[in-house]
């Protein structure tokens, strides 16, 4: 592999500006890496060679003219295949959208294009972002670059694997219950979910709209902070987008964190956590103590309800969001329907995979009359209580830490027959989505099989700069 692909996005972008490499050369390099290794990894559903090279060409023209380059211009990026990129296929890894070509750009995609960031391909995911292992893709599985017999985590498994295997320096994913942080932890990269509303969801194929957020993957905390700066900002196309100025999230990375108070979530350090993960988190505690922070234990007793709350709310929202895939407006249409109802039923039966159908059925049930109050309304009430508990704790500590996942990447196929075991993979990540706070997974060492472990850090809403600061300080000392 060309050494340059191993460099951070910040370094790659400096090399382009310093004329040590052209953006076209760098993009070609990433594209060759993809054709070399992706057959084994399966990170990409499609490669967008022409689009990437056209963008890279623009960067080279700017360099030739001596113009100042936008942030991260020319650095290859993988886009999760549930975000629209005009003129390319956006499949959400579903048969129902197998041949769907985006008629417009998602807001994040437009921002990448405005900053001349070459999009090298559309990254594989669990169908409609529903899953924790990327085994729910209708097309192919993603293999963990650290050990090809293991899962990369999901649902943004392709995004995480592409960054871990240096097929791209950066990637975007979406996180509804952990889909950025979990695969980041399994693949040994940085993955970050912003505050709800920080990044526009316009052009992201909706799974559960009150929980979905787009966020960055990178190999360093600094790169993740820079990419968040590129994609965040108010957007009138998304009514939940926050009307706040875009911050320079990388500005405070080097701030001294001495005197800050960090809470370890004891409810996420139970016996369910593997020995190696526990040791890694204990090591993180020591690192933070050595940086002069005060580390305290905190308990969030309502956190244990998060999985139950999530699987009612997320499925309810998905049953409604996915109603638009009816065989009439988007994607797959059955061949010979007998009538309109038959067209709806057969198109959806043929187009959706098992997990998506399971979620639609669960969600429809939770929303149906007679059950709405018992399930959906109760889950909404509980969500509020979990949020209140977090807000209370944030009066006492600046940040929270926990494992991103109780375990490291498991073998392909190990949990596919047991949906409940699969759902429990997200025990530590879902709460940040319910509460709407920013959270990040940072590499924190390896288990005895050599698989990466992730440390999860959470801060109050809108405290992304602090989150990156705390993550960066750990990253410098951890491994």
Residues near ligand GLN (CB under 6 A): 129-132, 155, 175-179, 207, 314, 426
Pairing of strands 77-80, 170-175: parallel
Specify the 3-state DSSP secondary structure of 45.
strand
Nearer to ligand GLN, 10 or 125 (CB): 125
Please identify which of the residues 8, 93, 133, 155 carries the catalytic annotation.
Answer: 155
Q: Minimum distance between the CB of residue 185 and ligand GLN, rounded to whole angstroms?
A: 13
* Min dist. Cβ of residue 131 to ligand GLN (A): 5
Q: How far is the CB of 311 from ligand GLN (least distance, A)?
A: 8
Any idea which residue has 């025990």 for tokens?
427
Catalytic pick among 179, 185, 232, 465? 179
Say if strands 452-458 and 399-403 run parallel, antiparallel, or are unpaired: antiparallel
Among the listed residues 180, 195, 192, the one whose alpha carbon sits nearest the alpha carbon of residue 435: 195
CB nearer to ligand GLN: pick between 5 and 125: 125
Cα separation values, 142 from 48, 164, 165, Å: 18, 12, 12
In the complex, what is the shortest distance from the CB of residue 94 to ligand GLN, in angstroms, rounded to a whole number? 14
Residue 179 falls in the annotated catalytic set? yes
Q: Least separation, in Å, of the C-beta of 9 and ligand GLN?
A: 23
Which residue has its beta carbon closest to ligand GLN? Answer: 179
- SS3 of residue 355 by DSSP: helix
Cis upstream peptide for 62 (omega within 30°)? no
Between the CA of residue 338 and those of 95, 147, 324, 345, 347, what are the distances in Å? 22, 48, 20, 11, 12
Residue 199 per-residue DSSP state: B
Q: How far apart are CA 148 and CA 30, in angstroms?
A: 20
Nearer to ligand GLN (CB atom), residue 426 or residue 464: 426
Output the smallest distance, CB 152 to ligand GLN, in A: 13
CB of 90 to ligand GLN, least distance (A): 16
> Is the sign of the CA dihedral 464, 469, 470, 471 positive or negative?
positive
From residue 348, give the alpha-carbon distance in Å to each of 82, 332, 333. Answer: 18, 8, 8
In which residue are the tokens 């039923």 written?
Answer: 345
Token pair 């149906």 in the structure block, residue: 368
Nearer to ligand GLN, 130 or 262 (CB): 130
Cβ closest to ligand GLN, residue 163 vs residue 427: 427
Per the residue annotation, which of 80, 111, 193, 346 is the catalytic one? Answer: 80
| CA atoms within 13 Å, Cβ hemisphere of 309 | 28
Rounded-to-integer distance, Cα 261 and Cα 294, Å: 5
Are residues 199 and 215 in contact, defined by beta-carbon separation less than 8 angstroms?
yes
Closest CB to ligand GLN among residues 31, 182: 182
Is the Cβ of residue 48 or residue 132 nearer to ligand GLN in the bound state?
132
Residue 234 burial by Cβ neighbours in a 10 Å radius (0-12, 13-18, 19+): middle
DSSP assigned state of 204? B
Q: How far is the CB of 175 from ligand GLN (least distance, A)?
A: 5
Nearest of 327, 324, 359 to residue 132 by alpha carbon: 359
Crossing angle of the two packed helices 49-65 and 9-17, in degrees rounded to 10: 50
| Catalytic positions | 80, 155, 179
């Amino acid at each position: 592999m060309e050494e340059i692909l191993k460099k951070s996005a910040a370094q790659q972008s400096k090399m382009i500006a310093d004329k040590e490499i052209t953006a076209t050369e760098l993009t070609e390099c990433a594209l060759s890496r993809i054709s070399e290794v992706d057959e084994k990894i399966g990170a990409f559903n499609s490669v967008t060679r022409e689009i990437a090279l056209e963008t890279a060409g623009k960067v080279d023209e700017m360099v030739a003219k001596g113009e100042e380059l936008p942030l991260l211009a020319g650095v290859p990026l993988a886009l999760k295949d549930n975000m629209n990129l005009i003129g390319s296929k956006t499949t959400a890894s579903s048969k129902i959208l197998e041949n769907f070509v985006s008629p417009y750009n998602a807001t994040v995609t437009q921002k990448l294009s405005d900053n001349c960031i070459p999009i090298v391909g559309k990254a594989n995911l669990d169908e409609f972002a529903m899953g924790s292992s990327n085994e729910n893709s209708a097309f192919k599985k993603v293999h963990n670059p650290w050990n090809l017999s293991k899962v990369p985590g999901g649902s943004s498994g392709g995004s995480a694997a592409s960054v871990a295997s240096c097929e791209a320096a950066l990637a975007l994913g979406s996180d509804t219950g952990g889909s950025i942080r979990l695969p980041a932890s399994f693949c040994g990269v940085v993955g970050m979910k912003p505050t709800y509303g920080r990044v526009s969801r316009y052009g992201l194929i909706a799974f559960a709209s009150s929980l979905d957020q787009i966020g960055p993957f990178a190999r360093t905390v600094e790169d993740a902070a820079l990419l968040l700066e590129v994609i965040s900002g108010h957007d009138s196309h998304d009514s939940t987008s926050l009307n706040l100025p875009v911050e320079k999230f990388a500005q405070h990375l080097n701030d001294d964190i001495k005197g800050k108070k960090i809470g370890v979530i004891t409810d996420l350090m139970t016996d369910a956590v593997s020995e190696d993960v526990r040791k890694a988190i204990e090591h993180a505690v020591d690192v933070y103590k050595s940086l002069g922070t005060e580390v305290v234990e905190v308990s969030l007793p309502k956190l244990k309800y998060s999985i139950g709350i999530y699987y009612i709310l997320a499925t309810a929202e998905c049953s409604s969001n996915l109603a638009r895939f009816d065989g009439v407006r988007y994607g797959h249409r059955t061949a010979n329907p007998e009538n309109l109802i038959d067209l709806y039923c057969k198109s959806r039966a043929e187009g959706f995979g098992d997990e998506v159908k399971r979620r639609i059925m669960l969600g429809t049930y939770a929303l149906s009359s007679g059950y709405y109050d018992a399930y959906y309304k109760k889950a909404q009430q509980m969500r509020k209580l979990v949020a209140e508990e977090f807000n209370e704790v944030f009066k006492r500590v600046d940040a929270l830490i926990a494992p991103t996942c109780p375990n490291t990447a498991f073998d392909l196929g190990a949990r596919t027959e047991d949906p409940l075991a699969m759902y429990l993979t997200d025990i530590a990540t879902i709460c940040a989505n319910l509460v709407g706070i920013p959270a990040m997974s940072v590499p924190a060492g390896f288990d005895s099989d050599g698989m990466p472990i992730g440390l999860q850090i959470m801060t109050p809403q809108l405290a992304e700069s602090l989150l990156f600061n705390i993550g960066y300080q750990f990253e410098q000392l951890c491994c």
